[in-house]
Structure 1
Amino acid sequence: MAYEWGRLGERPFEQLCRALAVHAVGPGLQAFGDGPDGGREATFDGPTLLSTSTNGLWNGYGVLQAKYRRTDVGKRDVDWLHRQVTQELNAWSDPASQRVSKGRLPEYLIVATNVRLSSKPGRGGIDRIRDLLAEYAGPLGLKGWALWEANQLSMYLDAYPNVSARFSEFLTPGDVLARTIARLDELDAGPPSRSVTEKNGGPASLHGFLLHLNDGRPPRASDLDALDLGVKPAIGTRNNGADLPQYVARTCDPDLDRALSQGGMVLLHGRAAAGKSRSALEAVQRVLPQHEVLVPAGPGSLRRLLDAGFKVRDAVVWLDDLEQYLVPAGVDLATVQQLCPQGRSDVVVVATIRDEVLARIEQSGAISRAAASSSAVTIAIEAAGRELLRYVRGWRRVPVSDHLTAAERDTIGSDNPDQRLIDALAADVGFGEYLDE
């Protein structure tokens, strides 16, 4: 998407850069307001989500500087930015300056600007500024630096639309038109549902936002059909899943029940066909039978619903195969925290993910940074996924094994009337894998 950077003022631009840095660097960012800031719009100290080399994630004290220019055309923009950055670097190089004598030298530096720089190798504006930073890196002791010029910032905004939505100053006519078309699609999706609007606010109809609606409302957990929520039909299942095998109680069930009762996000992980979705559904129906279950119609549906003003209360948000929602305009940490603010436990985000996918996302930063073909958007999306997964840790992660323990096998019994369960016990593969069609 094209952004009109010239429509932003200096202060809004600084605020935008800080908002993007929270996602790209991590939630530990400390912002500075108006007044003398010692060359800092924001700082961070400690582990981050960011890296600009194959040496690993940045870990230390860093500074974000924002450089806003009211016009962004022509060679003069590059010269102006070069002068601005040089002045800042010289101030840090001067032992007599207050930012050195009373402050702290950064180990990492991010320079963000609305100036659009040329990427022409060796002669373009990007290389000029990078060469300048590299020249000062040794004397200043910089371990890493990043240049966020207009093109890079645009890619970050595409990756984090919740940030771009907050800064309507640079919304283009095309963006306004797209929002209008989306709104018309919502109105054409079905008749208004007065009860939903009165209870939760937001759009008149939830069609197009959520699946499995019952008279325009999300279904209660006790009324859910297992197959609709992604529970795989066992071998020999008939009657649309009405004869699914009896649920085999898992040793993880008490931990899962306890996590659901606390609210917030809960992640079930395990190998494919381990029974993650079935265990999640059984737990939701045990612990929260009267909660409404919100199943997004697509990766971006949940965020669109929240942006439309819908208030989620006494609900379970169902994200089976979490990775499909970790896309631009999909689910990120800000979305989860909006759904489950501190002090409330009535909303639970229940997600499932395969172990190999979980490992790939958590390791994706190093993989993408080492790959020359990885775009800034890809790296930003992966960083957002890692940021969310760092939030879902400890007891919020519930492992589901693909093999039954001895205690779990004993609950079935050799005289169980369902031959499918008996055969699965004797199979060489995982219990759930055998039952999976």
Structure 2
Amino acid sequence: MGHYDLNRMGWQQFEHMLQALAKAELGNGVRPFGSGKDGQRDATFEGRVTFPVGSASSWNGYGVIQVKHHEKPTTATADWKWFIEEVRGEIRGWLGKKRLGKKTPKYLLFATNVALSGTEGSGGKDQFELLMSNSAAELGLDGWFVWDYAEIRTMLDKHTSIRQRYLELIVTGDFLVQLESLLPKRTALEADRLAGHAVAELITRQWVRTGDAGYSDTSKVRLADIAIDLPCVWRAGPANEAEGRRMAARVTLAIGNRALSSSGGSGPQGVVLIGGPGQGKSTIAQVIAHAYRVAFLRDTDITRYGANAKHAFDGLRDRLTTAGIPAPKRRRWPIVVELAKAGTSVARDEGAFSLLKYIADSILVEGNPTDPSALLEWMSSWPACLILDGLDEVPDAKVRSRLIDAISSFVSELSAQRADVLVVATTRPQGYRGEFGDALPCEQLELLEFTEGEALSYSEALTAVRTSEDPDLAAQVTERLITAVHERVTQRLMTTPLQVTIMTALAEEAVDLPSDRFELFDRYYKVVYERELAKSEAFAELKTLRQHIDHLHEQAGIKLQARTEQPGKSDAVLTKTEIGRILRRRLTMAGFDETESETIADKLLRLSTERVVMLVSRRPAKYEFEVRSLQEYMAARALTDGDDATVLGGLKTLIPSSHWRNTWLLAAGRLLKRREHLTDEVIQIVTEYDTTTAETPLTALGAGLAGELYLDNLGAEFPAVRRALLTSAMAQFAETAPELPRSLADLMDLALSQAERESAIALESLHELSRKNLSNLATKYLSEHSSGMSPAAKQARTTLTEGRKYIKPGGQTTRARAQILARHLARVAATVPEALVLVERLNEEAASTSSSSGATASVALLQAMDQPAARAGLASTISSMAHSQPDAAHYGTVLLRQHASRSLRGQGYAG
């Protein structure tokens, strides 16, 4: 007979388990009740049931099952006395109902996690019998029974499927040594393999990716030393309104503490972590995975997996506690899927792509993949956490759509198996259109910038690790960073984990701290390069070839950035042969003869067997950047290397692409530093893009880029540049979106904190834009900021007293938006035949889409927009309905923007 812990599970899970056991014992006539007012009934039955087992007569009539879960048990005696008082209270309730003439049961069956002692006369069982016997006549009871801990334990041994469903909640001790007695043989064998996989992931994923080649493996930074929770805002509720500042891991783990199976809860649930470059979304997802690995393995004998496993486990467990990240109540088995790699598999597989099979194939234990059906059985027996990292690294719309379909199918498969699954996904905000919400219900957490205190706290943790043997240096680093976080020029460079990591490294070297993001990465690269030279005498001999190594990194960056944009290449790498080719071509162009080029290139290649400064080799003879932001930095260097016309033309081409956005921002930063004479032309490209280059200003692609450049602190030394960017960015407030995007809220916060001339631009722009449409974001912002004495409030009151009042768009579903847009576009199609296909696709979208309010377009709909005339007709339709149907007009604008960003923009750089 098994020993089960019935106290750890919450009352709701206990109630669900007892309802299932009641059905198994009494038959399908048992009718369970959900949460809420149940009239003293957790379940009922009517008619004849074979119960109690072994008694002379069976129950026949109306019966009620009442579940009593003691959440804080103390001593055996106190616990059964608590149960008796609970029963006494229920009896009083039934007596009251009987006096009022309400229906009362002939049979009462109680269930409790409390163990009722069998001491004759004074034990819990006899006291229950005495209480029920004394009340039976007055209540009109023909029978009663109690399932206490001992009875429930027997039933769990008997009903295997129910035991397996709640196994994680009730198993005690080292569950791995009990698997064969608790699970079917095949599932038990698979569970043992997957536990080993969790340990392997605990060890291999314990490092922080910094892209820093200047440290040896023995001094790399471990998550166990610096892991922290990250601030976020939780967009929750039907209006998708932002709640206050929260912590991402805490919120995610709290959601994961719920029952998420289709039988005992809401079904699989998703949490989407949205963060910009370097903001730590992949790292916090890994921290969440580690929290579940530690919880999953905490009752096992971790030493059986070796000293490295024990060291990693202890370090992560202690760090999670120090960081204030609570231990999960559910011991979910975690699995991480890197979506860039999955996207490559999707593109290569012309048939149906199975995420279940992909995951099973990726879990190698002793060189053997996992059986998909066995994996599904395991996930049906034990709760899981599925982490889907990096949707933004799958830019191709068709591949992305197929990947989301595969995720949706997998979630449906898990739900059908009544699996309890938490899905955690990560993405950058650029280009994200709520796709995960098409696959399953999702909560959205948007990562926030560090406060000054959070930035310093994180830097102190880093400094403690990297300068542990030099307290004087640690003090100097801390002092420099305290100064940096308070200075206006540098404080914007300490708002993300990656930025703080780099600033800490720069502070260690006592170099001048940068004033913009490009200089931040540029100085970091130089510091890392110097460390690489210092640690290798052989490499130091080739100092004179430094420009060629720089060129290698730049070409690697631009080629990988371009390739990862292409379908099926979202996890692109450079082969050793390609690196050799880049080096030989460069050396030949520099004037080395063929023999010299071959010799030097071969020597550099030999030195780079493991890594070349920022390039790492995770697979034999294949190279990539460990940190995506560093790849984008190198791509920015390559993008800005050429004659002026070529550079400016390349920048203009890339404006619509969300995939190239961070590269664009870094490239602009470099041009303002290295080619100041191009400043006016770069700003002109951005500020005039919507009116001179874009098909329609409705997409506001240039305005969006201007806003990001403004927030990126571009041109801090040039007030005219700042004002031009802000003026252009404010055009985004003309949109009729139902909610203010976080980027625009941040834009206003920054603009209003600047000098009067700059803040006046923002306020006057809002005032003028609000004249054009009472449902646009300008009017919304002014309406929501009309109280107080701030400049925004004063401007708002001036605007609103002119008779303008915000009229919120109707909050229509995607189905309704598509229908309305199709109806209006059909009128244009009479003169623009190319728009007819688009009308058909919009109607199909309306018929097939869910009732959600998301705006993710199907591939077929986007393909219907490939005809320029169709897009022109759509733009004309949107303009004509902006006042009468602002919600549908905004949906159409989003479609135009999605289509504009869909084309591959960097093919010429792929090489």
Could you state the TM-score of these two structures normalised by the residue count of structure 1?
0.41
Structure with greater helix percent: 2
The structure whose Rg is larger is: 2
Could you state the TM-score of these two structures normalised by the residue count of structure 2?
0.21
